[in-house]
Structure 1
Amino acid sequence: MGSRRRRSGSFSFMEEQPEEKEEEGELQWPFGRLDALGRDELRESAYELFVACCRFSQGSSGRAPPSRHPADGSDAGTKAGAGIMSATSRVKGALGLRARLAGPMRTMVNSGSPVTLSSAAGTATALSPAGKPKQRPMTSAEIMRQQMGVTEQSDTRLRKTLMRFLAGQVGRQAETIILPLELLRHLRPPDFVDSNEYHRWQRRQLKILEAGLVLHSWAPCDRLNSSGLRLREILTASELKPIDTSKHSEAMRNLCNCVMALAWRYQNATPVEACHWADGFPFNIHLYLSLLRSIFDLKDKTVILDEVDELLELMKKTWATLGINKMVHTVCFTWVLFEQYVRTGLVEPDLMGATLALLDEVANDAMRPERESGYVKVLLPTMASLKAWAEKKLLDYHEGLKKGGRIEMMDNVLCLAFSTAKIISEETSSNASVGMIVKHDTGGDADDFSPRNCVDRFIRASLKCAFTKAQENGNGKVDSRVVDEEDPHEALIKLAKETEELALSEKENYSPLLKRWYPNPTAVAVVTLHSCYGAVLKQYLPKTSVLTNELVRVLHTAGNLEKVLIQMAAEDSAGAEGGGKGILSEMIPYQVDSIISNLIKRWVDDRLRMARGCFIRAKDTEVSSS
């Protein structure tokens, strides 16, 4: 994916902004699409929400846990990013993640003064009035701003607006504020560089309101709801030019009325204590993931910032507004770590290890009886996506796990598949309606998720894929010489050799890893290969009616291959229950000796028939001449 820059209304994103597409290995996005909003727009709005919630939490007893650092970073503790190697991160230590190494310095402009930064977060250096370098640690707020690609100008405009709005509203909680509406009320075109920038910014705020209040609202919104229809009319009217948001304008009055009606509406005739504009699924998850993605180092995207503890603590302040709790956070954090692992090319095993560690916590959370109803909406799609990715790799592990020496990561991929399958299985067993959905989506029952059944399926499927690839020619099509040409013996001999090499490679490279989960993986593998080669041989033999030297070579080669495969299967299943008779019984013999005997008998019978014909003709000739 090529690097690109996208011009946004009030934020400047200097890093690549990938769309929500399937990454390497076809990692499926589990949280639904927001067609009206792009990744950049979501990240801009997520940062606005983050700053607002941190501002509101100061001096407030809001529901969000307190942070060790001031949210706005005005005088945040210098420990948040104090140098390249900050104090050991509790989160990184618990997940087994490595600390960030020092990187080269780079410069940026900060209030007209040259500032240098180390890596993605670290020490800021500014010139004092005397012209001498003055260093200070970056605050958590400054780290977050830089991680999310927000310009200082945009950030300053946002914070000044919030300060004006909060004047005289001490103690008000963030979840009682409809942030996009308040920003529309307090920001005017002169606050922006030009009218185009303001128009884009206004359109984004209106689209955020539509997504949170109508399209993906906390409470179902009827498509004929008068307030919803009015909001859409305002959004349509803003397409060509900005709407008038001055205090006494009719457009602003209409906007306020419909937004307030939607945000404070009842659910099931029950009064609400907070407005709901950003806590509808999956809109809330999209916003929260935009925040979580900021924890990765901008220069080395396989590394999590050492300041992750402080950043996550600040992100907690958005939970009340987004309708998120610790359990939902854990699922989202798991997804973000694994998404980054896939996006960065599967090169950082620590990210996979951290994902597996968090899955243990997810499994414990999934067993709790006091879960909220929306938790399953987040849990099951996420687990299904991780499971599908792992299974796709394992169903063709000869291809999916061979690139770049990734055979050693098979154990982690197996753990991922089994952990997610177990969570799905336990969830479906306790919820019949969910079980029907999962069975439909996965094409199987919960009983199919047992590690032994899964490994057996992975081995057979992958060996069949590998055998098919061995048959393919340079054009990626099955080699037609095996079945179409008059003399395909060389292709069959070559295929037999490649089949034996494939069996030996399986025994040496993959079976030792699979032995942890399955008692006799080599036996299953060679039985599969034996069946595959037997099918090809069966296609070839009906086309042969004459015993030739080439045919004898093919049959002898097939016989030798069969002996090797049987020997490998017997050795691997020697300690299995019943001596592995069940697996060995799957190997239908090629009966090479019987085929050769039958061909010899047919050849002899043909020769005898020819001799008898010659004798009869000679006898008839002699009789007629006499």
Structure 2
Amino acid sequence: MNSSLLHRIRNDRRKLLDFILSSSSGVKAASDDNIIDFDAISADYVLQCIQSAGGELDISKATSKQINASMFPTMMQSPSGDTFFLLSEPDSAGSPPRRAPPAVEANNNGHRDRLNSEASVSGHAFGDNHSYAVPSSSKSTKKTDALSLGLPALRTGLSDDDLRESAYEVLLSSVAFSGIAINSLENPKKDKGSRFLSGLKNRRDKKHTRSHSVGNQFEQIDTIRAQMQVSEAMDERIRQTLMQFSIRKPHVQVDIPQIAIELLSGIQQNDFLIERSYTHWRKRQANVLEELFSSVNYPEMQELGILLDKIRNPEEWNIIMTPAERAEVLLAIRQVASSLSSMGRSSNIQGSSYWNAGYHLNIRLYERLLFGVFDILDEGQLIEEHADYLKLVKLTWGTLGITQKMHDALYGWVLFQQFVETKEMPLLDQANLQVQKVLSTNYKEGNEEQFTYTIMCTNTENGTEIKLSLVQAIFRSINLWCDTRLQDYHLHFSEKPVFFRRLVSMDLVVGRHNTATFNEVKVKSSDASADAAAVRVRFYVKRSLEAALQRVEDTINLISKMEGKHPLALLASELRKIAERELSVFSPVLCQWRPDAGIFASVHLHQYYGERLVRSLLIKLKLCSRRFTSSSHSLISLVISVFAETIPRRYILF
């Protein structure tokens, strides 16, 4: 099974379990205040509890069942037999072994009993080396190499889920420090039926409903929580900690290290139902700190790494160290963060505590926030509250070092990525508008504008490493994706030509700002003064026709043998289909930038068939008697001369 599909299935499984438990009044977890790790509990056990007239859900038992099930491959039962889903690739693994399987050992049950005991929630068996840990779900956002900005790699291996959860914490802290209450004792406990998910379902039947909870701050933040897929119990604890932090230190520009350290201080193991969840959460905070500290080349990074390793180690942090010792570790890290933050502020950007060297993490966090504008139940649609959502997201600019131009470019980039994933036309239109906005807006000249150009992305061009600014990297990635498909638009847009016009428009816009790709287009000197867009359109017509004709040529002989028809007759039929589609679907669009695009395509097809016809005649004539040799040369010369006279000289391709 494709790894990205597997990640998506796991993500959907978590959403469904959350919805089932929150909607079921007959089944309740052991403690409503604790966090449930939906990746670690058995869905079959949850459904059994619901079907057995409700009761209390034993999380420990659900976890044990899931760990036991993870020892075996996933199986789907069907009338034709059982289907197994393997994590390995069968093709690369080779044929199955021919030997007989080993005998089952007598002590196998004892091994499973020991495993069940190790799965106890109160135990400490969920360390780094646990061989039966349930794999975590992580959704990949980079679908292809072309959709990569070339940001520096994350040293600590933070997953997309880690980035999404950290981004939500940054957003909550930014909202709290802006003066907006994110937690209140008067705020009633949220309905376990999940008002937001109900609102999403109702939108299926009622498209023009009122904007969801525009005037209610708590419901706005709850909308964000649902979009960022954060559990209600964890969200409540984070809100309390960050709200207390903002009250203790008002009017302070908060940064990511302060947020991570404050959460590590305020959230303890007893706030988690499962120890493994607490360990993973703590490791994520330590990895975020290490990512930023290592980016600025802290001279005493080795000593700091020892402190961060103590946070990651569940045995040392939870058992060996006393609360006072843990507080000393966090205080030492806080002092380092404070000194680095004061030294490493981005130059003269007002109100920003962004570290220049940590931009690769900050931009990824901001991307995760922007992805929250897409409906979690219909990823091809924007949520109705997206305007209010973006207003709150903009509160993170000071923390993450985002400028207006960076926001506009990244939002267009996120919209385009989501279009590539869902193929929804409105997303492509929105992305196109954002690109046009970036190119047409006169951004305020100053330190912020200069700072945008200091963020560098690394890409490879013909084996050579090139450095691009963030905006240039976004335009280049969009351009490369469009360019690859437009060079064979007969293949990629044969079923959905409606995308063609929009993609050509976007490609030509971003292509003007991606000279590296444009330089690959080789044109003759007579075209040197032509408009850049017209030259590019001609290039696409030529490349796409060549690709389409190559596919025809690869199969024409086989089809000729199967159907008993002459290859030239079949070739003429296929070329007619290509010409009809070119002139009816593609040329009307391309003529906006190249008025003679249809003529150029027709000439190309005409010349292609003429060359094959002459070649066929030459082969036939060579089979004739020698006494007709002189006549054959005369005939060939006549055919070529007549054929050449029918084509305007400026369109002849040879």
What secondary structure is seen at the aligned counterpart in 1 of 2:451? Answer: coil
Worse-matched range after superposition: 453-462 or 296-305: 296-305
Deviations 1:365-398 (A, max 9, x none): 4776441233462201100011111111211110
Alpha-carbon distance in 1 for matches of 2:347, 2:497: 57
Structure 1: distance between partners of 2:337 and 2:584: 65
> What secondary structure sits across from 1:374 in the alignment?
helix
2:603 is the alignment partner of 1:512: no
Structure 1 stretch displaced more, 370-379 or 313-322 = 370-379
Paired residues of 1:451 and 1:517 also in contact (CA < 8 A): yes
Paired with 1:12 and 1:448, the residues of 2 have a C-alpha distance of 61
2:547 aligns with: 465
Aligned residues: 486
Of 399, 408, 412, which aligns to 2:498?
408
Q: Larger deviation: 191-200 or 387-396?
A: 191-200
Provide the C-alpha distance between the structure 2 equivalents of 1:357 and 1:76, rounded to a whole number of angstroms.
42
Mapped to 2, the partners of 1:16 and 1:238 lie a distance apart of: 23
Deviations 1:398-421 (A, max 9, x none): 011112xx2233221111011112
SS at match of 1:472: helix
Q: 1:337 touches 1:355 (CA, 8 Å); kept in 2?
A: yes
1:246 aligns with 2:338: no
Task: Say which of 4, 28, 31 aligns to 2:9.
Answer: 4
| DSSP-derived class of the 2:358 partner | coil
The answer to whether the 8 Å contact 1:209/1:277 transfers is no
SS of corresponding position for 1:519:
coil
Query: Aligned in 2, Cα 1:295/1:16: closer, same or farther, shift over 3 Å?
Result: farther
Aligned to 1:395: 487
Counterparts of residues 545-624 of structure 1 (less than 5 Å)? 545-547=622-624, 581-583=649-651, 585-586=652-653
1:240 and 1:492, CA in 2 relative to 1: closer, same or farther beyond 3 A? farther
Alignment equivalent of 2:368, drawn from 290, 300, 321: 290
Displacement after TM superposition at 1:202 (Å) = 0.8
8 A Cα contact 1:297 1:305, kept in partner: yes
Q: Conserved in 1, the CA contact under 8 Å of 2:490 and 2:548? A: yes
**What is the deviation of 1:184?**
1.4
* 2:142 aligned partner, one-letter code: K
What is the rounded CA distance, in whole Å, between the counterparts of 1:502 and 1:566 in structure 2? Answer: 24
CA distance in 1, matches of 2:323, 2:349: 31
2:103 is matched with none
- Provide the residue aligned with 1:34 in structure 2: 154
The answer to which structure, 1 or 2, has the higher relative contact order (CA under 8 A, 6+ apart) is 1
Counterpart-to-counterpart distance in 2, 1:508 and 1:181: 62
**Deviation of the 1:471 alpha carbon:** 1.5
Unaligned runs of 5+ in 2: 16-33, 40-135, 204-214, 456-468, 626-634
Secondary structure of the 2:375 match is: coil
- Write the letter of the residue equivalent to 2:567: A
Distance 1:464 1:71, change over 3 A: farther
**Which whole-Å CA distance do the structure 2 matches of 1:439 and 1:162 have between them?**
47
1:263 to 341, 350, 375: 341
Alpha-carbon deviations, 1:239-263, whole Å to 9, x = none?
5536358344454344334433433
- Per the TM alignment, residue 533 of structure 1 is displaced from its structure 2 partner at its CA by 3.9
**1:56-79 Cα distance to aligned partner (Å, 9 max, x none):** 110xxxxxxxxxxx45276999xx
* Residue of structure 1 aligned with 2:224, choices 144, 148, 152: 144
Please name the residue that 1:226 is paired with.
299
Query: 1:563–1:38: structure 2 CA closer, same or farther, 3 Å change rule?
Result: farther
CA 1:74/1:565 → structure 2, altered by over 3 Å: closer, same or farther?
Answer: farther
The aligned runs of 1:403-482 (5 Å cut-off) are 403=495, 406-424=496-514, 438=516, 450-473=532-555, 479=557
Q: Following TM superposition, by how much is the alpha carbon of 1:139 offset from its aligned partner in structure 2, in angstroms?
A: 1.8
Inter-partner Cα distance in structure 1 for 2:519 and 2:153: 18
For residue 51 of structure 1, the aligned residue among 157, 163, 172 is: 172
For the 8 Å contact 1:176–1:274, the answer to whether it is kept is no
Other structure's SS at 2:569 match: helix
Secondary structure in 2 matching 1:20: coil
**Pairwise CA distance, 1:356:** 1.6
Structure 2 residue corresponding to 1:379, chosen from 457, 471, 474: 471
2:426 maps to a residue whose letter is D
Deviation at 1:500, TM superposition (A): 3.1
Q: CA deviation at 1:286?
A: 0.7
**3-state SS of the aligned residue for 2:549?**
helix
Whether the 8 Å CA contact 1:459–1:525 is kept in 2: the answer is: yes
Report the CA distance between 1:530 and its aligned residue.
3.7
Matched residues in 2 for 1:367 and 1:169: separation? Answer: 33
In structure 2, the residue corresponding to 1:301 is in which secondary structure? strand
Equivalent in the alignment of 1:336:
414
Give the letter for the 1:190 counterpart. N
Q: 1:160 to 1:173 in 2, by over 3 A?
A: same
How do 1:62-461 and structure 2 match up within 5 A?
70=180, 72=182, 110=190, 117-120=197-200, 139-175=219-255, 178-215=258-295, 221-222=296-297, 225-237=298-310, 240-241=313-314, 243=317, 244=321, 246-249=323-326, 251-266=329-344, 275-276=353-354, 280-344=358-422, 346=423, 348-365=424-441, 369-370=445-446, 371-375=449-453, 377-403=469-495, 406-424=496-514, 438=516, 450-461=532-543
* CA 457–198 in structure 1, closer or farther in 2 if over 3 Å, else same: same
Asked if the contact 2:352–2:398 (Cα under 8 Å) also holds between the matched residues in 1, the reply is no
The aligned amino acid for 2:552 is: A
SS of the residue corresponding to residue 226 of structure 1 reads: coil
- Aligned equivalents of 1:38, 1:465: Cα separation in 2: 39
Distance 1:467 1:495 in 2: 9
In the superposition, relative to structure 1, how do residues 440 and 32 fare at CA in structure 2: closer, same or farther (>3 Å)? Answer: farther
| Distance in 2 separating the partners of 1:161 and 1:444 | 60
Amino acid at match of 2:167: A
* C-alpha distance after superposition, 1:189-211 (max 9, x if no partner): 22222322211111000111122
Percent of pairs with identical residues: 24
User: Are the aligned partners of 2:272 and 2:278 in contact in 1 as well (CA < 8 Å)?
Assistant: yes
Question: CA deviation digits over 1:511-536, x for unaligned, max 9?
Answer: 11211111211221123224444555
- Whether the aligned pair in 2 keeps the contact of 1:330 and 1:361 (CA below 8 Å) is yes
Q: What pairs up with 1:521-532 in 2 under 5 angstroms?
A: 521-532=597-608
Higher radius of gyration, 1 or 2: 1
Q: Measure, in 1, the Cα distance between the counterparts of 2:441 and 2:143.
A: 27
* SS of residue in 2 equivalent to 1:149: coil
CA distance in 2, matches of 1:351, 1:268: 33
- Tell me how far 1:37 sits from its aligned partner: 0.8
**Alpha-carbon shift at residue 111 of structure 1 (Å):** 5.6
TM-score, reference length from structure 1: 0.66
Match of 1:502 in 2: 578
Structure 2 contact 196–226 (Cα < 8 Å) conserved: no
CA–CA separation in structure 2 for the residues paired with 1:294 and 1:364: 26
Give the C-alpha shift of residue 302 in structure 1: 1.9
Contact 1:189–1:198 under 8 Å retained in 2 = yes
Instruction: Assess if the C-alpha contact under 8 Å between 1:278 and 1:321 holds in 2.
Output: no
Residue pair 1:228, 1:258 contacting (<8 A) in 2 also: no
**Cα deviations by residue, 1:133-155 (Å, 9 ceiling, x for unpaired):** xxx97721111011111111000
Partner residue in 2 for 1:66: none
Residues 238, 163 of structure 1: CA spacing in aligned structure 2 closer, same or farther, 3 A cutoff? closer
Give TM-score, length-normalised by structure 2.
Answer: 0.64
Say if 1:530 and 1:565, in contact at 8 Å, map to a contact too: no
CA distance, structure 1, for counterparts of residue 499 and residue 219 of structure 2:
37
Contact 1:4 1:17 in 2 (8 A): no
Matched residues in 1 for 2:550 and 2:438: separation?
Answer: 39
Conserved in 1, the CA contact under 8 Å of 2:614 and 2:639? no
Asked if the contact 1:227–1:259 (Cα under 8 Å) also holds between the matched residues in 2, the reply is no
Structure 1 pair 324/278, CA: closer, same or farther in 2 (3 Å)?
A: same
Distance 1:267 1:171 in 2: 17
